[in-house]
A and B are shown apart, each in its own frame.
Chain A
Amino acid sequence: SQQGEEDPQALSIQEGENATMNCSYKTSINNLQWYRQNSGRGLVHLILIRSNEREKHSGRLRVTLDTSKKSSSLLITASRAADTASYFCARGEDAGGTSYGKLTFGQGTILTVHP
């Protein structure tokens, strides 16, 4: 499978703690994206990092990308109970402009934040 691998599969923390999720992949990318899914809902885009970027921030989210190691991490700082959800990384193909925006998703990390 060309899907990315996410680690850990599940993460349980207390409110106020930081949560770190990791994503590895096997082939070259154009971009890497992170999505969130609340139980029973569709996915919601969080952040996109391009292959020529190393770090990106959005509010309490920090994403890093290491293309030499083919890995990315998502850090959620000062977590809240409302952050409880599944988090997915998604790899955007490097297909010379013919990827048609396709993404390959990892299996996700289930984050539980206890009040």
Chain B
Amino acid sequence: DAGITQSPRHKVTETGTPVTLRCHQTENHRYMYWYRQDPGHGLRLIHYSYGVKDTDKGEVSDGYSVSRSKTEDFLLTLESATSSQTSVYFCATSGGTGGETQYFGPGTRLLVL
């Protein structure tokens, strides 16, 4: 497995509070991605990064922001959590010798009450 960790693995928070999820990789992969996974929707891309400080929006970016200050870390922030952001969040990376293959972290289960 590529060395991808996510923290926290589980979080319960209240509506209106900010939440930050962290993705850490040890593979020196150039590209990093945040997805959310919901029943009936598969995985949907929230934001992605193509280098340090280079990020762009994905399919479902409203309400989310990201930052990448170094190669190994990609942070996803929910500025003001809403119940619709209750989901499982996955980080993924690509760009190593595996080319276009993406390597996934274990996921973070977020419940917004």
Residues in chain A within 8 A of chain B (CB atoms): 2-3, 30-31, 33, 35, 40-45, 48, 88, 90, 92, 100-108
Question: Do residues A42 and B43 form an inter-chain contact, with CB atoms below 8 A?
Answer: no
Q: What 1/0 mask marks residues of chain B from 82 to 96 whose CB sits below 8 Å from any chain A CB?
A: 000000001010110
User: In the assembly, what is the distance between CA of A53 and CA of B33, in Å?
Assistant: 27
Question: Do residues A105 and B42 form an inter-chain contact, with CB atoms below 8 A?
Answer: yes
B59-106 at interface with A (beta carbon < 8 Å):
59, 90, 92, 94-95, 98-106
Question: Do residues A42 and B94 form an inter-chain contact, with CB atoms below 8 A?
Answer: no
A-B contacts at CB below 8 angstroms, number: 62
User: In the assembly, what is the distance between CA of A107 and CA of B39, in Å?
Assistant: 8
Question: Do residues B43 and A43 form an inter-chain contact, with CB atoms below 8 A?
Answer: yes
Question: Do residues A48 and B90 form an inter-chain contact, with CB atoms below 8 A?
Answer: no
> In the complex, how many residues of chain B place their beta carbon closer than 8 angstroms to a beta carbon of chain A?
29
Which 3 A-B pairs rank lowest in CB-CB distance, beginning with the nearest? A42-B104, A107-B42, A105-B43
Give 12 A-B contacts (CB < 8 Å), ordered by A residue.
A33-B101, A33-B102, A40-B107, A42-B4, A42-B107, A44-B104, A45-B103, A100-B31, A101-B31, A102-B48, A104-B45, A107-B40
Shortest beta-carbon distance, B34 to chain A, in Å?
Answer: 12
User: In the assembly, what is the distance between CA of A103 and CA of B104, in Å?
Assistant: 13
User: In the assembly, what is the distance between CA of A75 and CA of B56, in Å?
Assistant: 35
B28-51 at interface with A (beta carbon < 8 Å):
31, 33, 35, 40-45, 48, 50
User: In the assembly, what is the distance between CA of A107 and CA of B31, in Å?
Assistant: 23
